[in-house]
Structure 1
Amino acid sequence: MLRITCPHCGARDELEFSYRGDATVTRPGPDADAGAFHDYLYLRRNPRGWQVEWWQHNGGCRAFLKVLRHTVTHEVRAVAAATETLEVPGA
Structure 2
Amino acid sequence: MLLIPCPLCGKRSESEFIHGGPVGADRPDPNAVSDAEWVDYLTVAPNPLGPVQEKWWHARGCGEWLTIWRDTRTHDIVEAPDGIK
Between the two proteins, what is the percent identity of the paired residues?
A: 40
Task: Compute the TM-score of the two structures, normalised by the length of structure 2.
Answer: 0.81
Whichever of the two has the greater Rg, that structure is 2
CA distance in 1, matches of 2:81, 2:32: 30
| SS of aligned partner of 1:41 | helix
Residue identity matched to 2:65: F
Which SS does the other structure have where 1:54 is aligned?
strand
Partner of 1:11: 11
TM-score (norm 1): 0.76
Secondary structure in structure 2 of the residue aligned to 1:37? helix
**Relative contact order higher in (CA < 8 Å, ≥ 6 apart):** 2
Query: Segments of 4+ in structure 1 off by > 3 A?
Result: none
| 3-state secondary structure, aligned to 1:8 | coil
Question: 1:50 touches 1:71 (CA, 8 Å); kept in 2?
Answer: yes
Gaps of 5+ in 1: 82-91
**Structure 2 residue ranges without an equivalent (≥5):** none
Greater share of residues in helix = 2
Over the aligned positions, Cα root-mean-square deviation in angstroms equals: 1.8
Contact 1:55–1:65 (CA under 8 A) maintained in structure 2: yes
